[in-house]
Amino acid sequence: MPNGDREVRTRRINPTIPISPEAQKVHGISDADVADCPTFKEIAKSLANFMSGCDFAGYNSTKFDIPMLAEEYLRAGVSFDFRKRKMVDVQTIFHKMEQRTLSAAYKFYCNKDLDNAHSAEADTIATLEVLEAQLDKYSDTLQNDIKFLSEFSTKSKLADYAGRVAINEKDEPIFNFGKYKGKSVESVFKADPSYYAWMMNGDFTLDTKQVITELKIKFDSNKLL
């Protein structure tokens, strides 16, 4: 919390699909464990209200947790824009400084073994302790400031969580994959209008489709000015 208080909350969600044996070996959660738990769609609105005004930190969160949550919110039909929040990825700081796993990071920074690794609560608490230790260890480099940490732990500037659309040095959205990689989205949509339809019908995340739709609307509006 901004005032230094800590509050730990853990809640299990029914994924509505079978949990694979491989996944169970990692986190120890079975189908029976979540059989009576609510689905994400059922708690999406209340969770969005709870998260309102929050900034976010996690371990590998910019590649996993945030994209997953963004996609689930879209599936649930609940509006929640993570791009308006500051995000600190503890893994990025770690990789820039030491390059290890969370368990190794916990051992390196906190001199403790991570029990129950891959348990959501244990990993989250360990991540917080690692971040606090990083701030102490790299006090000459890091600042205990959410804006600084968000920028420091961001590897590249992306428009969507899947990394299909990036932002170049001119602050222009460009495609980050395929035959138009490096080309501005605006120029591609102008030269090849069918590319937008291809993406909308393709196997891209809902977030990516939402981003390119917003960009297309923006570009089309600019034509009318």
Statement: residue 66 has pLDDT above 90: yes
**pLDDT for 115:** 85
Of all residues in the chain, the percent with pLDDT exceeding 90 is 80
Statement: residue 225 has pLDDT above 70: no
Per-residue model confidence as pLDDT tens digits over 14-49: 999 999 999 999 899 999 999 999 999 999 999 999
pTM: 0.66
What are the structural domains, with CATH classification, of the chain?
A: 21-152 (3.30.420.10), 165-224 (no CATH)
Q: Which residue from 28, 34, 10 is spatially nearest to 117, judged by alpha carbons?
A: 28
- The neighbour count for residue 161, using CB atoms within 10 Å, is 21
Per-residue model confidence as pLDDT tens digits over 157-210: 899 999 999 999 899 999 999 999 999 999 999 999 999 999 999 999 999 999
Alpha carbon 21 to its chain centroid, in Å, reads 25
